[in-house]
Amino acid sequence: MAKKQNNTRASETIGAQPRLHQRAAEIQSYGTVSHALPLELEEPVRLEMTEQLNQLLADTMTLRDLYKKSHWQVAGPTFYQLHLLYDKHHGEQDELVDSIAERIQLLKNVSITIAADVAETTQIERPPRGREEVPVQLSRLLDAHQAIIRAARTLARRASAVGDDGTNDLVVSEVLRTNELQVWFLSEHLVDVPLVEAKRASTTAGSTQ
Ligand SMILES: [Fe+2]
């Protein structure tokens, strides 16, 4: 008996060796909201909101990464300004990713995280790996913004209807407004105006000039 006690004590000795390669069962499954919380938001509401927020998260992560792809691969006379603008928008989208993900966690669901899961979930069209021209880059980004804006408006209205004012505020004040502003900055690059010489005004009939 005494010998067994000694062995037990030896296995509990504190050492500097890290416990590597550990695995265990999940403590919460994806797609569940398991905790009662003092949020005055019932489980069905939190489940519905977090499912839609995870879709918004996957699409926002895809748009964020599309900005980095564009930042790295942009070519041509507008390289410098677009290289900087794309990275600015990437940073702003990255902040949205964190806000959306943490809203999902505080509502006690699990945020989508890993690229493979994002790829399976996003509704945004996958671009090729290679480089594309600036107008195509801009069009892809604008298409992604449009899809997110459409989904954000729908989600905001639904959040308000079911009493989730926090989600409504996040989606309107942060997601929607950021995406709207970025659309403006991008779309102005697709307006076909002369760079050096203004187009001549067409002469009207009877004009002396
Ligand atoms: Fe960079």
pLDDT digits (tens, 9 = 90+) for 152-171: 999 999 999 999 999 999 99
CB 30 within 8 A of CB 58: no
Question: What average pLDDT does range 171-175 have in this prediction?
Answer: 98
CA 21 to ligand 1 center in whole angstroms: 34
- Greatest mean pLDDT range, 11-25, 36-50, 150-164, 191-205: 150-164
CA 87 to ligand 1 center in whole angstroms: 7
CA 164 to ligand 1 center in whole angstroms: 37
CA 205 to ligand 1 center in whole angstroms: 54
Instruction: Give the pLDDT of residue 37.
Output: 86
CA 74 to ligand 1 center in whole angstroms: 11
| DSSP per-residue letters across the chain | -HHHHHHHHHHT---S----S-----SS-TT------TTS--HHHHHHHHHHHHHHHHHHHHHHHHHHHHHHH--STTHHHHHHHHHHHHHHHHHHHHHHHHHHHHTTS----SHHHHHHH--SPPPPSS---HHHHHHHHHHHHHHHHHHHHHHHHHHHHTT-HHHHHIIIIIIIHHHHHHHHHHHGGGS---SSSPPPPPPPTT---
Q: pLDDT digits over 112-126, tens only?
A: 999 999 999 999 999
Reported pTM: 0.89
* Structure-token pair, residue 35: 């905790």
CA 86 to ligand 1 center in whole angstroms: 9
- Dihedral sign for Cα 69, 72, 77, 80, please: positive
Kindly state the greatest CA–CA separation across the chain.
Answer: 118
Q: pLDDT digits over 90-100, tens only?
A: 999 999 999 99
CB 109 within 8 A of CB 49: no
What's the length of the chain? 209
Q: What is the mean pLDDT of the chain?
A: 92
CB 60 within 8 A of CB 100: yes
Question: Would you place residue 7 in the very low, low, confident or very high pLDDT band (cuts 50, 70, 90)?
Answer: low
CA 88 to ligand 1 center in whole angstroms: 10
CA 140 to ligand 1 center in whole angstroms: 20
Instruction: Give the pLDDT of residue 71.
Output: 98
